[in-house]
Structure 1
Amino acid sequence: MNTINKYLPVSFAFLLLITSCSSEREPYIPFTPAEDSAFVYKNYTKKEVYVPMRDGTKLFTAIYTPKDSSEQYPIVMYRTPYAIQPYGENNYKIDLGPNMRMTRDKYIFVYQDVRGKHMSEGQFVDMTPHKRRTNESLDTFDTIEWLLANVDNHNGKVGQWGISYPGFYTAAGMINSHPALVAVSPQAPIADWFFDDFHHHGAFFYPHAFNFFSSFGRPRSGPTMVKNPKFKHGTNDGYAFFKAITPISLAKENYLGDSISFWNDLVAHPNYDDFWQDRNILPHLKNVNCAVLTVGGWFDAEDLYGPLKIYETVEKNNPGINNTLVMGPWGHGGWRRTDGDVLGNVHFGSKTSNFYNDNIIEPFFAYHLKGRGENKIPEAYMFQTGTNEWKTFDTWPPKNLKKVKFYFKEKKRLSQTPPGDNQFGVDIFESDPSNPVPFIADDHIGMPKSYMTDDQSFVNNRPDVLYYLSSPLEEDLTIAGSVLANLVVKTDQTAADWVVKL
């Protein structure tokens, strides 16, 4: 039996004033994938090398250099645990860098398998703790040192970018920045794995964790070009599949065995203990001496915590640097993988990814790495859903906010009127672990990208769900900044999760 105090406040920050958006650049006209691939083959030379780290470990690295040597080019680096395929000096990526705009503008593009993954030497450690003797900041520094000394025709400037896990490596790479590292873009970066991905503020996301580590977490016997195959569930009914392997100990017993070390660690550390705290990169984001453009999606169910907290922490710890936050109407990595005009049943009025690529990421690297254009990117570039407009801000969260509190009231009401004396009460619900609350209405084996935009009201009539509605809004409101649900709860079990959705 679980209870929730129904008169405690839910705090919102409502934005009262929004600045105008800057003018757009000339739009990029896309080519076909075949034309893009032909351009890369015609204009770039690929070389594969092993780059030595300070401890002697060698990291496998692919370098794409423009064939035109009439000018010097900056280096743009991407470090990943997901394999820098295709391997082989005659096998080229179809596109290079954050987008084909930059590929056609020509940079020296560098891709690297991180320590212990795929073709690189060493031992892989998930979310490498920064306090280790070897860490991702040092590996990035050593890689840049080697590139500057061994790659021809560079201009002495280096940039780095990455999405998701590679976003973490980008954020780690800017700690104690190498002097040549002048611009970085961590995109959908993992910041703290207890809050990103698998534990959403403490609530364990079983399907997401299992689906990821059942493939990614399997050990290798040595350097390999082959990626682990995805786990085959034998069904598309994720609710039934994961219900059948609950409690979580059944996942290891029935499917995973004892070989996936991080799964064993994840199960052994259900709370925010030293294991997770050591993997939190936020306390170490210091001595960042380069321009930073952090990118995230409002509807990213994997890494929404990461970009917001990394921007906030870099801003606090590194005053005076160019530090920008971009948040668009995207799922995980949607700015590079989709047009950004629709997610699930929600439409955003335009191809928002094109705007981002034309007006934000390409000008950012062009200015800092090539000295071209002007440094006009604002402190925060935020897409406002509802009105479907890009907005710019001098600070984030904006300074001109009015904090508003809503209170849980009787008859499932959400009200701005605080409770009077002796009006506090409780709402009671029963939760059955053998009949968990689903988070999607349709059959799916994992977490679909549209999950964050889907209507969640299909669970409202369940006995283990409480919902509260406000009165109809009399005027438009814009919600900005953090949303905090302040709950006082009690359970007759040894543990419970309360998941709050707005």
Structure 2
Amino acid sequence: MKLLLQTVLLLISLSLFAQVDIKENYDKKEVYIPMRDGTKLFTAIYTPKDIAKDKKYPMLMQRTCYSIAPYGEDNFKRSLGPNRFLQSDKYIFVYQDVRGRYMSEGVFTNMTPQVEHKTKKDVDESTDTYDTVDWLVKNLKNNNGKVGQYGTSYPGFYTAVGTIANHPALVASSPQAPISDFFFDDFRHNGAFVMGYLRTFPVFGVQKTKAENQGWYSDQMIKSTSKDGSIFYNELGTLKEAADKYYKDNFFMQEILAHPNYDSYWQSRNLLPHLKGIDHAVMTVGGWYDAEDLAGPLNIYKTIEKNNPKAKNTIVMGPFSHGAWGRETGKHYHNDVYFGDSIATFYQKNIEHKFFNHYLKENSKKAVALPEAYMFDTGKKVWNEFSNWPPKESKKLNFYLASNGTLEKEKFGKSGFSEYYSDPNNPAPSSVNYAEFNGFTPRNYMSEDQRFALSRPDVLTFTTEYLTEDVTLAGEIMAKLKIASSSTDADFVVKIIDIYPADEPQNADKPNVLYANYHQMVRSEIMPARFRNSFEKPEALTPNATTEVNFKLQDVLHTFKKGHKIQIQIQSTWYPLMAINPQKFLENPFLATKEDYTKAFIKVFDDSVIEVDVIK
């Protein structure tokens, strides 16, 4: 207890020191910046006190829907910019509440659709970025004419969409954990609804009626009644029942319920088709264990790379959960898995600081001395550098799901299948970290020990022998399942697992964790069978007929070490992370009742394949 108190006091003193340091070195002012349609966006600007005609500074901007507090020109942030190295270098730091949020005017829209700019007053987030940059360059004295932007999570989206603002002063952008398409990231995964996000909806689905300097949506927040969060989800009922109880007036929840398929509502919010005409430096950042936004950074990087030959395009993927590269923890863990010391500091000092300092203070025309892809191998636990991502040297390798429970590199000798009985009333758990179910969003499951699933009769397992050499997965993963179900709909969950050796040593930091035979999840994804041919036009399964369900898992860089095993787990329920599929085809499965829940026998044929990219 004494040590804990000393740690808390140290953190408080460091925080107060940082705040004093900012007050001593920066001036703060708050302004409303007008957009082209007349809407004014509230903006806080921190300017170095020593700025002068012979000492000009670039600008580093973050636009956010999460508040730019503290408000008031005498109230200063505890830190500025994305990391302490950039704060020490001194920039003009700019923070802005986006439309409809906190102190800004306008109406908030989730993942604001890009519009066709037919008139000078047509607006979206890219025009708001342009208008903000233009105002800053023209109105802030002694700026050097260069602007960079950054943001993590939703601010990562605003950074990503800002890359197409095409203002000449915008020379460097770093979208971090950005959303690219809500149907495949964050709230939906391949169209399946992420039930584990249920507590987040007040933040995104309540409009404010006046300027606000604190959360106006707090009365909608769901309060925990037990430290065991599984109780809440087990008593919750169907998705429709949950929405009726908690979010009848929440516009975002009601929009999701009304749009189960990939219709114009979702398509208009897909940023990827608009990522064109980018000619400045972009560094997209993500975490391999980001349970919220893993698809976004990978897809944004790849799309910019494909469509923008003039862009200086870089991707960084580390062993991080959502945004964890922004805070140093000393020993870096994700859940129970240790990855090394001071990994966030390495990223901040050697990658992020280098990127912004080069383009904003040195030479924005010449590419920074960083690799195209700075990627962390989560098996070997080292940083790797690549000139392309996925690596051009990677080769395709198939793992076949043999009906004897083995994972084979060649087709199984005889034609057969594995079978399980899936009951929506008794779903397979997504985690046994019951306390985390009370959290805002689940995170630890991304690398959680999966031994709890082995005893479930509705979870299939396919496992290699102990590896005789290292196997490095580096790039994309494709699940190509051949299935048959006695029902008319089903979800399919694929999990890729690294099984540790039987003699894996213990870790003194985690005395209660058994690492011998630890089943670490490396990658996972869900796919509703209804979308197997089209996300726009779902189709029922024909009972007991063989069909293909093909879908992508997110990329990976992970070495399965010699002496480990590779395992694939397949299941059709994954609760409470994902909403339960009734397993009965409905026009809108989100409106399913308990009466719609249908038990099913599901076969997975042994010519099903998990296709991976591997490198030597």
TM value normalised by structure 2: 0.74
CA-based RMSD of the aligned residues comes to 1.7
Give the corresponding residue for 1:100.
84
Give the corresponding residue for 1:474.
468
Structure 1 residue 176: Cα displacement: 4.1
Secondary structure in structure 1 of the residue aligned to 2:130: helix
1:362 counterpart letter in structure 2? H
Q: Which has the higher strand share?
A: 2
Structure 1 residue 441: Cα displacement: 1.0
2:96 matches 1:112? yes
2:400 counterpart letter in structure 1? Y
The match for 1:197 among 186, 208, 213 is 186
The change in CA–CA distance for 1:374 and 1:401 in structure 2 (over 3 A counts) is closer
Secondary structure in structure 2 of the residue aligned to 1:308: helix
Structure 1 residue 355: Cα displacement: 0.7
2:374 matches 1:390? no
CA contact (8 A) 1:326 1:380 kept: yes
How many angstroms apart in 2 are the aligned matches of 1:374 and 1:141? 23
The match for 2:423 among 413, 425, 432 is 432
Q: Deviations over 1:101-149 (max 9, x none)?
A: 1111100000000001111100110000112632100000011111111
1:417 counterpart letter in structure 2? E
Give the corresponding residue for 2:408.
415
CA contact (8 A) 1:36 1:100 kept: no
2:28 matches 1:46? yes
TM value normalised by structure 1: 0.90
CA contact (8 A) 1:191 1:280 kept: yes
Superposed, 1:391-406 pairs within 5 Å as 391-406=384-399
Superposed, 1:53-92 pairs within 5 Å as 53-70=35-52, 71-92=55-76
Structure 1 residue 319: Cα displacement: 0.5
1:39 counterpart letter in structure 2? D
The change in CA–CA distance for 1:176 and 1:225 in structure 2 (over 3 A counts) is closer
CA contact (8 A) 2:280 2:310 kept: no
Give the corresponding residue for 1:247.
238
Moved more, 153-162 or 386-395: 386-395
Give the corresponding residue for 1:146.
135
How many angstroms apart in 2 are the aligned matches of 1:216 and 1:176? 24
Superposed, 1:342-353 pairs within 5 Å as 342-353=333-344
Give the corresponding residue for 1:24.
none
Give the corresponding residue for 2:529.
none
Structure 1 residue 458: Cα displacement: 0.6
The match for 1:137 among 126, 130, 133 is 126
2:318 matches 1:328? yes
Give the corresponding residue for 1:13.
none
The match for 1:35 among 1, 8, 17 is 17
How many angstroms apart in 1 are the aligned matches of 2:490 and 2:64? 36
How many angstroms apart in 1 are the aligned matches of 2:368 and 2:269? 34
Give the corresponding residue for 1:491.
485
Moved more, 184-193 or 445-454: 445-454
Structure 1 residue 402: Cα displacement: 1.6
Secondary structure in structure 1 of the residue aligned to 2:171: strand
How many angstroms apart in 1 are the aligned matches of 2:451 and 2:304? 37
Superposed, 1:198-213 pairs within 5 Å as 198-208=187-197, 210-213=198-201
Task: Find runs of 4+ consecutive structure 1 residues off by over 4 angstroms.
Answer: none
2:132 counterpart letter in structure 1? T
How many angstroms apart in 2 are the aligned matches of 1:222 and 1:189? 28
Can you give the 5+ residue segments of structure 1 that lack an aligned partner in the other structure? Answer: 1-30
1:156 counterpart letter in structure 2? G
CA contact (8 A) 2:70 2:77 kept: yes
Give the corresponding residue for 2:451.
457
2:211 matches 1:220? no
Q: Deviations over 1:374-430 (max 9, x none)?
A: 82111000111222211111111111112110101122111011135xx33222222
2:34 counterpart letter in structure 1? P
CA contact (8 A) 2:107 2:207 kept: no
How many angstroms apart in 2 are the aligned matches of 1:374 and 1:306? 24
CA contact (8 A) 1:415 1:471 kept: no
> Percent identity between the aligned chains?
50
CA contact (8 A) 1:203 1:499 kept: no
Q: Deviations over 1:198-226 (max 9, x none)?
A: 22223321121x11113432221221111
Superposed, 1:17-28 pairs within 5 Å as none
Secondary structure in structure 1 of the residue aligned to 2:243: helix
Moved more, 223-232 or 142-151: 223-232
Secondary structure in structure 2 of the residue aligned to 1:51: strand
**Number of residue pairs the alignment of both structures matches:** 468
The change in CA–CA distance for 1:336 and 1:399 in structure 2 (over 3 A counts) is same
How many angstroms apart in 2 are the aligned matches of 1:252 and 1:452? 26
CA contact (8 A) 1:294 1:310 kept: yes
The match for 1:442 among 433, 438, 460 is 433
How many angstroms apart in 1 are the aligned matches of 2:425 and 2:260? 20
CA contact (8 A) 1:137 1:172 kept: yes
1:180 counterpart letter in structure 2? A
Secondary structure in structure 2 of the residue aligned to 1:466: strand
1:309 counterpart letter in structure 2? N
Q: Deviations over 1:304-352 (max 9, x none)?
A: 0000000000000101321000000000001003437211111112211
The match for 2:304 among 314, 335, 358 is 314
How many angstroms apart in 1 are the aligned matches of 2:129 and 2:195? 32
How many angstroms apart in 1 are the aligned matches of 2:417 and 2:275? 42
